[in-house]
Amino acid sequence: MTAPSSTTSAPLTRQRSALYAGNTGAVIRRGLLATRSTNYLVVLSGFFEPVFYLLSLGIGFGALVGSVQTSTGQEVPYAAFIAPALLAVSAMNGAVYDSTWNVFFKLNYSKLYQGMLTTSLGPLDVALGEIFLALLRGAMYAVGFMVVMQLFGLNLAWTALLALPAVLLITFGFASLGMAITSYMKTFQQIEWVTFIMLPMFLFSATFYPISVYPEPIQWLIQALPLWHGVELVRGLTTGALSGMMLVHVGYYLVMIAIGIVFTTNRLRALFLK
Amino acid sequence: MPQPVITARNLTKKYGDFTAVDGIDFDVAPGESFGLLGPNGAGKSTTMRMVGAVSTRTAGDLEILGLDPNDHGPDIRSQLGVVPQQDNLDQELRVRDNLLVYGRYFGLPRSVIAERADALLEFAQLADRTKAKVDDLSGGMKRRLTIARALINEPRILLLDEPTTGLDPQARHILWDRLFRLKEQGTTLVLTTHYMDEAEQLCDRLVVVDKGRIMAEGSPAALIREYSSKEVLEVRFGSDRNAEAAERLQGIGERLEVLPDRILVYSGNGEAELERITQLGLHPITSLVRRSSLEDVFLRLTGRSLIE
Q: Do B65 and A3 touch (CB under 8 A)?
A: yes
Give residue limits of the domains in chain A.
16-272
Shortest distance between the Cα of B64 and any Cα of chain A, in A, equals: 10
Enumerate the β-bridge partners of residue A38. Answer: none
Q: Is the pLDDT of residue A231 over 80?
A: yes
Higher pLDDT, B274 or A20: B274
β B263-267/B231-236 pair status: antiparallel
Split at pLDDT 50, 70, 90, the class of A101 is confident
Q: Which CATH architecture has domain B6-224?
A: 3-Layer(aba) Sandwich (3.40)
Q: Which of B94, B100, B157 is nearest to B130 (CA)?
A: B94
User: Cα dist. B153→A260, B24, B81, B100, B117 in Å?
Assistant: 32, 29, 7, 11, 10
Contacts of residue B52 in chain A, CB cutoff 8 Å? Answer: 118
Residue A21: which of B55, B74, B79 has the nearest Cβ? Answer: B74
pLDDT digits (tens, 9 = 90+) for A243-258: 999 999 999 999 999 9
Q: Is the pLDDT of residue A8 over 80?
A: no
Contacts of residue A121 in chain B, CB cutoff 8 Å? Answer: 74, 105
Q: Which of B165, B160, B85, B154 is nearest to B123 (CA)?
A: B154
User: Cα dist. A26→A32, A163, B115 in Å?
Assistant: 10, 29, 18
Side-chain half-sphere CA neighbours of A184 within 13 A? 9
Give residue limits of the domains in chain B.
6-224, 229-291
| pLDDT computed for residue B207 by the predictor | 95
Residue A1: which of B52, B63, B106 has the nearest Cβ? Answer: B63
Residues of B with CB under 8 A from a CB of A: 3, 5, 7, 52, 54-56, 63, 65-67, 72-75, 77-80, 82, 84, 86, 88-94, 97, 101-102, 104-107, 153-154, 156
Helices and strands per DSSP (H, E), number in chain A: 12, 2
Q: Where are the beta strands (DSSP E) in chain B?
A: 6-15, 18-28, 33-37, 59-64, 80-83, 157-161, 188-193, 205-210, 213-218, 231-236, 255-258, 263-267, 286-291
Q: Do B90 and A17 touch (CB under 8 A)?
A: no
Mutate to test the interface with A, among B6, B76, B87, B105 (most CBs of A within 10 A): B105
What was the ipTM of the complex prediction? 0.83
B112 Cβ neighbours under 8 A, 6+ residues apart:
B103
Q: Do B63 and A119 touch (CB under 8 A)?
A: no
Q: Which CATH superfamily is domain B229-291 in?
A: UreE, C-terminal domain (3.30.70.790)
Question: A72, A156 in Cβ contact below 8 A?
Answer: no
| pLDDT computed for residue A2 by the predictor | 39
Q: Which of B64, B74, B50, B60 is nearest to B23 (CA)?
A: B60
Split at pLDDT 50, 70, 90, the class of A3 is very low
pLDDT digits (tens, 9 = 90+) for B110-162: 999 999 999 999 999 999 999 999 999 999 999 999 999 999 999 999 999 99
Shortest distance between the Cα of A110 and any Cα of chain B, in A, equals: 6
Split at pLDDT 50, 70, 90, the class of A14 is very low
Residue B74: which of A3, A8, A16 has the nearest Cβ? Answer: A16
β B33-37/B188-193 pair status: parallel
Angle at CA B187, nearest 5°, toward B8 and B148? 110
pLDDT digits (tens, 9 = 90+) for A108-164: 888 899 899 999 998 889 989 998 988 888 888 888 899 999 999 999 999 999 999
Least confident of B59-63, B212-216, B230-234, B302-306: B302-306
| pLDDT computed for residue A11 by the predictor | 41
Residue A46 identity:
G
| pLDDT computed for residue B155 by the predictor | 95
- Residue in chain B lying closest to A106 (CA): B90
Enumerate the β-bridge partners of residue B287. Answer: B235
pLDDT digits (tens, 9 = 90+) for B180-209: 999 999 899 999 998 888 998 899 999 999
Q: Which of A200, A201, A198, A213 is nearest to A71 (CA)?
A: A213
- How many whole angstroms separate alpha carbon A78 and alpha carbon A62? 5
B226 Cβ neighbours under 8 A, 6+ residues apart:
B216, B218
- How many whole angstroms separate alpha carbon A35 and alpha carbon A32? 5
Contacts of residue A21 in chain B, CB cutoff 8 Å? Answer: 74, 107
Shortest distance between the Cα of B101 and any Cα of chain A, in A, equals: 6
pTM, 2 dp: 0.86
Q: Is the pLDDT of residue B31 over 80?
A: yes
- How many whole angstroms separate alpha carbon B142 and alpha carbon A203? 47
> B157-196: b or e for each residue (b if 16 or more CB lie within 10 Å)?
bbbbbbbbbebeeebbebbbebbeebbeeebbbbbbbbbb
Percent of chain B with pLDDT over 70: 98
Contacts of residue A18 in chain B, CB cutoff 8 Å? Answer: 73-74
B76 Cβ neighbours under 8 A, 6+ residues apart:
B53, B64, B65, B67, B69
Split at pLDDT 50, 70, 90, the class of B41 is confident
| pLDDT computed for residue B12 by the predictor | 97
Task: Provide the 3-class DSSP secondary structure of residue A65.
Answer: helix
- How many whole angstroms separate alpha carbon B289 and alpha carbon A267? 55
β B255-258/B205-210 pair status: unpaired
Query: Nearest 10 degrees: CA dihedral of B229, B233, B238, B242?
Result: -40
B124 Cβ neighbours under 8 A, 6+ residues apart:
B144, B145, B147, B148, B178
Residue B105: which of A16, A114, A119 has the nearest Cβ? Answer: A119
User: Is A16 in the B-facing interface, judged by CB distances under 8 Å?
Assistant: yes
